[in-house]
Chain A
């Protein structure tokens, strides 16, 4: 009989193979990243535009993003969709405050054709009034639905307090954004940030060099004319906001503070602190607020990066009756990590867990490309991850406490509840 109370021996992961994609500078403000060692037929390309929400007034950036496949002078939106779908392509569009990414997933044999279809559609958007009307109506409905979700309400209010120092970053989406939108406004944004706003082309797939060359040539037509620059004056503000929602069964809780991104010397060590506190299933917040108190289905923390800075945030949805109790427990856990040393066995677990996660993040061409991009976008090379391994393996409980004392002072936090 085996002794089941005895855990099998474990081996720590100590080395990770990072594979670097090929990088070409196509123009002063345009680069191409290509990961061609893909052992199957799948492929993807991403187009990164300097067209994030902060580039436009109100919701202009997000509306233009929603119109990228809405038709050109020679092709209707239905025809564009048909040409993408008949080649088995799936498209996805992502918007953040600072950038806009358009992606296609397909089989590699169709990648180049799809690239040409999509760049043509994006370059030549005609801004047909009926397509614009339709989008405005759809967005109005979506926003009305979102306004019925406590999580959405808390996120909007959180941005408002957190980014109080910068109206562009703080501004919530409002229903009035979708009224009286002028087509000229959309056209001007498109002209500046899409037709002349392509910053990066990413290709993942077993694609021939000659095809990559042609993709590179074509990309130049949309190249960004200026080096994107971002807000450097964001400072932390704190405050408590309560958004009322009648009859809500749960309250969404969101809190956090402006902090930093990968370029800050504390970043990597802070990630370990963040994991201990709230970034995995065994984290202190999950253990206390879900597994001990049963207040929530889930709670987590994260360090979100911006170009010039970043912010730390904790988010959860809890039973309406225990909202204040949950906040107290969150505050308790933050105080605890600021005052007590993380026990060795807990830190050991977090080290191994984080190494396993990093190993997984480098597993396969898609994950590896995204891992590379995550460093590259913040001006770091793949060496960054060797530094990460060193940080994970050598950080001490004292260092974690020091970081918590320096960066997690409750008085610096913006705290929002909705529901």
Chain B
């Protein structure tokens, strides 16, 4: 067994050192703040990471001598995630007075009932510190994971936007000192936290992870907790053994190699956006609508793939691109086509003790066209009714290779083989697209559920093939590019 520190959780709370011992590892940060620390400014609105009322700032060393700051949902994060990190809450960001975002929100009448307000303030504050406030759209995207039922959002967005010109009071030296202090709190070895109700290991590199998981193949892997968190808050599941992969630095790398990009499984959605956008702008757009900002900051690509959800947005995109997975168990590695990973609903080709290490995504080749769209009831932070990602190789106007991948259409993310066959060998246009759309009925018999009926899913999926054909000729034409014209 590798070296580990059987120790308490050491972290900074609003700048003060704190130690947690004897607290069940699946206690949420929110519960700990509100009940043990009596910091009640952070609110519980949903306990599932969908409303943002519980947003706090989580800071940690960025590995380059500085600090990485993220706004996170305290309601689904567990207390061991605090180890060696710093959390700041709404009570502290203003020092003795009001932080700029707080003053701006007061001035623009941005609160009514006030219950969502601390979460918005924290989210905007962290966005401001991270230099993410530029224009109105950037503010709206920042608060895409925050719900307000009173204001209609205008005054909140105004308040956020008013920070655009103000430089945040950041200081590299102070950050460096904080990074050192946090590193010291984190200790020399892997955290192994144990308390009544469970154990928590937090390996720091991939070898340590492989060893730990091999030794505890029945453990649950957890990274951003954006899914596992809900197993506890919503299903009251007991998770006696957890391995936290969020500190594994070598899983957090994005490697842009010639012809391909290799995403470590621990790369967050937020961190993946720029590389995905480089592969194709549609991927960036899909990521912008993936969950809310806080979830994108914590959730990882590997988590989104490995949990096998039939409605995850990334899997269809990566399948269409012909991506592969790197899986590791102990010291052995194997590669697998992503589309072969999903065996059936809830069942993946992953053995006990084996974990997703990386996703290997080829670039689009010459003559390859790509298209990815998400359809959901709401623009932001909604699970897709249909997620479509298409890659076609078109040579001399003729489709020579096709990958049409869908989410929301079957028990797993899946390619539409019949529709692909209907395209191959055809001139890509309305006619071929229509035949491919019709062929979808052979590929899929989707469910009717809260997000859409079976009929709608089939029809919309087919229409997205038609849309691809239309846009292939005429350029992008969707409602997100339209404005009211007359002043």
Binding partners A and B: no
